[in-house]
Amino acid sequence: MSDLIETPDPALGWADDFDESWRALGSPGTPGRVSRLDRGWSTVVRSMDEARGVADPLRVRNIGADVAVGDWVVSSDDDERIEHVIERRSAFTRRASFDGMRAVSHTLAANIDVVFLVHALGSPPSPRRLERELVLAFDSGAEPVVVLTKTDLVVESEPGREALADVSLGVPVLLASGISGDGIDEIRDYAQGNRTLTFLGASGVGKSTLVNALVGDQRQATSAVREGDQRGRHTTVAAELVPLPGEGWLIDTPGVRALSLWLSGNGIERAFADVFDLMDNCRFRDCKHDQEPGCAVQAAIAGGALDQVRLHSLERLIEEEAALEEEQRAHDKAADKRAGGRTRPPEQSEFD
Ligand SMILES: Nc1nc2c(ncn2[C@@H]2O[C@H](COP(=O)(O)OP(=O)(O)O)[C@@H](O)[C@H]2O)c(=O)[nH]1
Ligand SMILES: [Mg+2]
Ligand SMILES: [Zn+2]
């Protein structure tokens, strides 16, 4: 054992916050980043050579660990299994499913810095979908950026941007095209500082085309396997941490795209900050924003400053979140009873 502590290459995305968490654990082992998950196994990269496929990455069993692609992990001394998952910056977590007595929440991807919410110009705008995506993005802890792609299909991009402006609020909106290459540099700029990007959006909006434009040649090496996976309906398509040309990372995971609402943070409050601001101005603190006198929300609707549909969206999302919380509590309670008051075993990933 050397007393020289080996810290990971910052090019892998290692930064002060991870370093602090790792040192708080007593600086065990050498942290690596999970680049891929297959049934029961994590692929862990500890150098750029490993990330680029020049050297062999580590393959470790992830028994009993809730590990996701993008995670920083430390393996056991014998490299047999994952011993520590370093505290995440952000996480996309799928709503819990329940497996026997255990509540199984599943983290699909971790330590994403920027999530691009992709919408296509030339298709009807979908503000309701963007609302949900923003809730998810804010909840994850990543920074959302809206991308309006397929600029080559429209003469004017402004109407598309306008149609989403009441929902996108202060979130940056980029214009791009995976076909013409428009806006790709701007997207790539978000990866500076070795940051990790991902794309979220409805099927057919143009995510894969943007990814290909962004990753370019480096993508080709993996695409043969990937295409095969997508066609073979029995295999799940693996999420993958892909190095971008230049610097930064892409987490490409179809699972994230189909994410259902998860509750954890203040995603709803942030995605609907305009409506919450209005609510602060209602005359009564327990205003239901329905028929009450002095309701600032209803006044905004009457004055045309707020779309009634947006208020309904918000109410639906709040109800959905409450129902999920209730479901989670009921299952936790039932599980505790079955466990006879013992604490529950650690959550397992479905890959075990
Ligand atoms: N004209 C044009 N077509 C695009 C663009 N991006 C994607 N497409 C097309 O839209 C379809 C869906 O694209 P894809 O990237 O597979 O969408 P995904 O389902 O979001 O991954 C394909 O036929 C693409 O060729 C674009 O920027 N311009
Ligand atoms: Mg695709
Ligand atoms: Zn009110």
- Ligand 1 centre from 192 Cα, in Å? 25
Q: Ligand 2 center to residue 199 CA distance, Å?
A: 10
- Our separate counts of H helices and E strands in the chain read 12, 13
Taking the C-alpha atoms of residue 85 and residue 67, their distance in angstroms, rounded to an integer, is 7
Ligand 1, atom 2, residue with closest C-alpha: 150
Of the listed ligands, the closest to the CA of 183 is 1
Q: Which atom of ligand 1 is nearest to the CA of 118?
A: 20
Q: What percent of the chain has pLDDT over 70?
A: 82
Q: Where in the chain is the domain with CATH 3.40.50.300?
A: 111-257
Which H or E run includes 214?
helix 207-215
How remote is the C-alpha of 128 from its chain's centroid? 19
Tens-digit pLDDT profile for residues 214-230: 998 545 333 333 444 44
CA 213, distance to chain mean position in Å, is 21
Residue of 209, 237, 250, 252 best suited for mutating to test ligand 1, as the one with most atoms within 8 Å of CB: 209
pLDDT of residue 339: 65
**Ligand number, closest to the Cα atom of 283:** 3
* Residue with tokens 């959006």, as numbered in its chain: 201
Nearest ligand 1 atom to the CA of 150 is 27
Predicted confidence (pLDDT) per residue in 273-331, tens digit: 999 999 999 999 999 999 999 999 999 999 999 999 999 999 999 998 888 778 777 87
Q: What are the contacts of 80-86 at 24+ separation with CB within 8 A?
A: 82/42, 83/28, 83/29, 84/22, 84/25, 84/28, 84/29, 86/18, 86/21, 86/22, 86/25, 86/31
Which whole number is the average pLDDT over 9-24?
A: 96
- Choosing among 3.40.309.10, 1.20.1250.20, 3.40.50.300, 3.40.50.2300, the CATH entry for 111-257 is 3.40.50.300
Q: 143 near 89, Cβ under 8 Å?
A: no
> Which residue's C-alpha comes closest to atom 12 of ligand 1?
204
Residue 11 reports pLDDT greater than 70:
yes
Stretch(es) of the chain classified as CATH 2.30.30.140: 10-87
**Per-residue model confidence as pLDDT tens digits over 141-160:** 999 999 999 999 999 999 99
Q: What is the model's pLDDT at position 95? A: 63
Within the chain, all domains assigned CATH 1.10.40.50 are found at 267-338
For domain 267-338, the CATH architecture is: Orthogonal Bundle (1.10)
What is the full DSSP assignment across 59-103? Answer: EEE-TT----BT-EEEE-TTSSBEEEEPPPS-EEEEEEEEETTEE
Beta bridge partners of 315: none
- What does CATH list as the number for 10-87? 2.30.30.140
| 134 and 171 Cβ atoms separated by less than 8 Å | yes
- Around ion ligand 3, residues with a beta carbon closer than 5 Å are 282, 287, 289, 295, 297
Nearest CA to ligand 1 atom 5: 150
Give me the mean pLDDT over the 12-23 stretch.
96
Output the pTM of the full model.
0.87
Task: Give the C-alpha separation, 4 to 142, whole Å.
Answer: 33
Q: Which atom of ligand 1 is nearest to the CA of 153?
A: 1
Which residue's C-alpha comes closest to atom 10 of ligand 1?
A: 206
* Count of C-beta atoms within a 10 Å radius of residue 171: 18
Atom of ligand 1 nearest to the CA of 201: 20
**Distance between CA atoms of 306 and 77, rounded to whole angstroms?**
58
Assess contact for 256 and 92: CB atoms under 8 A: yes
| Residue scoring higher pLDDT (70 or 224) | 70
Q: Extract the runs of DSSP E, i.e. beta strands, from 123-261.
A: 143-149, 173-175, 196-200, 240-243, 249-252
What is the CB < 6 Å shell around ligand 1?
149-150, 152-153, 177-179, 201, 203-209
